[in-house]
Structure 1
Amino acid sequence: MRLRSPSMSELHAFATAARLGSFTRAAEALCVTQGAISRAIARLESHFGQPLLHRNAHRLTLTDAGRSFLDAVAGPLAAIESASTAMLDQDRQHQLTLSAVPTLASVWLVPRLPDFHRRHPDIQLNFVPYRRDEDFSGATPDAAILAGEDGQWPGWQVDYVIGREMVPVCHPDRARARHAAGLWQSPAELMEEPLLYHTTAPANWQNWLRASGVPDAAPPLAKGFDQVSILIQAVKADMGVAVLQRCLVHDALEAGQIIAPFDLPVSLRRGYFLCSRREKRNHAALSAFREWLLAAAATDISPANSIAKQ
């Protein structure tokens, strides 16, 4: 029997380009070149003898024929992909491919991974590059630790991990000097200090102060840094006071390298979440990693190093 259906690669190229509205984004999702996507769709249109997509400078749109065809093949393609994933997962129950926000990975996650490997020596954990807009459209990763808020990823398996708890930090000498002078009796007094901040989250100071009982806080920010690691080094160099996620400064606090002048139970909305497709929920390696990760995060909610502990 002569087959009349096109190839799977052509179907996936068409469906992904239609969903994302871009050859470039489709190529990134499928881990191929933009030219490969363009050629696959051109072959598909030649096969059917009619255009399926309108090309313009801003976004791809479906023709009437393209919409009808996509409606017919989207479900079967998803079913084939899901079945293929399940079959492959049977051989990968002891392998886990993960991506993670680089800051959390380097500062918090990686130093704790030896404990995971001791507990689960049979699980092979591999990291792939982090994508801020991860949608699990490609073959990897199995799961990703992403920054965001509750409800941001409907339809996924999502677990809050850590990162909502915020704390101001400074050099120990600065804290002791202000304490000895009778200052820093309330969080509002921190606004008299050079306020250091992360350039992607300049509102953290205002949000923290308002949650700490300073309702009309309009803090004058001093110096901004685009990497948390550099911001922490600036605090260690006594350049000022910063407000950061507790998990990112936990080890420095425990080591006494920095101090929390006000260790208040302040939580903001954003945090780090372990995300995966729902069909991965029974993946053995992912289940073991999820259980370990949430337990590791739970141990980091103890009070930070503060003036009262000195």
Structure 2
Amino acid sequence: MYPPLNALRAFEVVARSGSIRAASEILNVTQSSISRHVSILEGHLQRKLFYREGRGLRLTEAGEDYLLQIADAFETISNATAAIKNRSKRAQLTLSAPLSLTANWLIPRLKGFLAENTDIDIRLVEGLTFDPSKKDIDCAIEYRFQPAPELASTLLLRDEIVPLISPNHFNVLALSTLDCVKGITLIETSRRLVSWHNLLEGKHWLCQQPFFTVNHTVHALEAAQRGIGIALANRHNAHHLIDTKKLVIPFLIAPSSLPRTPRYYISVPPHRGQNKQVLKLQSWLLKESKDRPSPNN
């Protein structure tokens, strides 16, 4: 059974100030009220908490132990109170998105959304799909074959697979089809669902092909810029690198050569579906996906 909270507070202030009078001034109540609260707490605990010494008070051994144990609780309450009072009244939206799409497509565009919505803060977290265990996610850009039935999902971007190579590397190579990559280092992304191995399956020379493997597309694109080899990526992820001529598409892959590819969806959990800020972000993302070039600055 919890002790009376007013009695606890009175005890804590008396213990720290050393007198009933000082505690009454701090708490802005009468001395008799402080004395009564201390007596109530001693009765509840069935322990004497103070010795009288002249005009002051000294904690008993039981009082010292009790103060030590409740001190952290009062500090926690104080910190929690300060945090809630100081919390920003601005809306914060947590958006989950794949790492490479975030770095290469989303972040170059976000300045526009933030300029249009100065009362909204964006918090980005990494995720290939929506993680239902993370209750703080307001919406997610997902990379998957089909939307999850428990989410409200809308197609955002198709996965346009293209090969990418540095301009200098391209100028010294004759590349026009998939067969032309034989003997050239292929930059493979281990987390990519459509890979060089998928595209070249059945080629008798594949077992002799040199590969450079990374975990994320963002690293594959960097490696391609450095002339390590040919990367395979989503055109949307590399849009700004293509626009700025840091990477070039040496040839297009015939749709018949591609396996079924995932797509990017913007998905919202049911409890956030009517949130005005979430709807604003969703609408803006869909507008940005309509073949609008990525800004270069």
TM-score (norm 1): 0.56
Of 154, 159, 162, 1:164 maps to: 159
Q: Which runs of 5+ in 1 are unaligned?
A: 1-91, 211-215, 303-310
Q: Distance in 2 between matches of 1:293 and 1:232?
A: 23
Q: How many residues align?
A: 200
Of 212, 217, 239, 1:223 maps to: 212
Shift of 1:197: 0.8
TM-score (norm 2): 0.59
Correspondence list, 1:124-273, <5 A: 124-127=120-123, 129-131=125-127, 134-151=130-147, 153-162=148-157, 164-178=159-173, 183-201=174-192, 203-208=194-199, 216-217=202-203, 219=206, 220-264=209-253, 266=255, 268-273=260-265
Q: Structure 1 residues 160 and 224 mapped into 2: Cα distance closer, same or farther (>3 Å)?
A: same
Structure 2 residue 103 is matched with structure 1 residue 106: yes
Which residue type is aligned with residue 187 of structure 1?
L
Q: Distance in 1 between matches of 2:278 and 2:137?
A: 11
Which residue type is aligned with residue 177 of structure 2?
S
Shift of 1:127: 1.4
Q: Distance in 1 between matches of 2:131 and 2:211?
A: 36
Which residue type is aligned with residue 136 of structure 2?
T
* SS across alignment from 2:93: strand
**Residue in structure 1 matched with residue 279 of structure 2 by the alignment:** 287
Q: Distance in 1 between matches of 2:194 and 2:249?
A: 19
Percent identical residues: 20
Q: Which runs of 5+ in 2 are unaligned?
A: 1-88
* SS across alignment from 1:197: strand
Which residue type is aligned with residue 276 of structure 2?
A
Q: Structure 1 residues 288 and 222 mapped into 2: Cα distance closer, same or farther (>3 Å)?
A: same
Of 79, 94, 99, 1:97 maps to: 94
Q: Structure 1 residues 103 and 207 mapped into 2: Cα distance closer, same or farther (>3 Å)?
A: same
User: Is the radius of gyration larger for structure 1 or structure 2?
Assistant: 2
Q: Structure 1 residues 301 and 190 mapped into 2: Cα distance closer, same or farther (>3 Å)?
A: farther
Query: For the Cα contact (< 8 Å) 1:146–1:273, is it kept in 2?
Result: yes
Q: Structure 1 residues 129 and 203 mapped into 2: Cα distance closer, same or farther (>3 Å)?
A: closer
Q: Structure 1 residues 130 and 240 mapped into 2: Cα distance closer, same or farther (>3 Å)?
A: closer
Shift of 1:202: 7.1
Query: For the Cα contact (< 8 Å) 1:93–1:283, is it kept in 2?
Result: no
Query: For the Cα contact (< 8 Å) 2:103–2:218, is it kept in 1?
Result: no
The CA RMSD measured in Å over matched residues stands at 2.9
Which residue type is aligned with residue 242 of structure 2?
L
Which residue type is aligned with residue 138 of structure 2?
D
Query: For the Cα contact (< 8 Å) 1:170–1:261, is it kept in 2?
Result: yes
Q: Structure 1 residues 112 and 165 mapped into 2: Cα distance closer, same or farther (>3 Å)?
A: same
Q: Distance in 1 between matches of 2:211 and 2:156?
A: 31
